[in-house]
Amino acid sequence: MKKIAVLLSGCGVFDGSEIHEAVLTLLSLSRSGAAYQCFAPDIPQMHVVNHLKGEVVETEQRNVLEEAARIARGDIKATSELNLADFDGLIIPGGFGAAKNLCNFAVNGSNSEIAAPVREFISRFISAGKVVGFICIAPVMIPGLYGKGAKGTIGTDAETAAAFTAMGGEHQNAKVDEIVVDSERKIVSTPAYMLAGSIAEANSGIEKLVTKVLELA
């Protein structure tokens, strides 16, 4: 049985992992007969957003690992606890947490940096030649992780695609139900809620991504 690590970035589209994308990823892995383990960095969130009002809550601070545990039903590990030999690949759902907590793309755009524990975690999969899947906005980390010429997609948003290219990546436009595969580097990406108008649309690409990740694992 193949086992995939899933890297979460909190809980909630505006300040953490996109919950639909995370759950659809876990569901697709389970339906495919694969095992999974959720991980998250044990670091503070950039900020907390009231999802009902869409406003930043200035008086509150939350922890990425503690919040991500909500999605994982408490079965989650800190990125520092990774035993790489246990896993065949990695998938990273999107949500603003990927661009605020895992890296700071939401603030710094093409000058963004990946959080140290996150870079270390993902780089271990890359160094071992293991497949990594990036969903939604998470692919903005691809150029910083893989270097010049790495292929990926965030969908069709021109500004984000330009930033991807400015960081050295090779962006390819994709529809919501499509994936982009960099076979040489074992990277798979899909737009999901960068384009999806419904949970069913998001699932169409996520299922394909999971299938391809398991194929390459």
Catalytic site positions: 136
Alpha carbon distances (Å) from 105 to 1, 48, 53, 73, 174: 35, 17, 23, 28, 21
DSSP reduced 3-state for 217? coil
How many residues can be counted in the chain? Answer: 217
Helix (H) or strand (E) holding 105: helix 105-108
Please give the radius of gyration of the chain, using alpha carbons only, rounded to the nearest integer.
Answer: 15
CA distance 63 to 101: 10
CA distance 197 to 200: 8
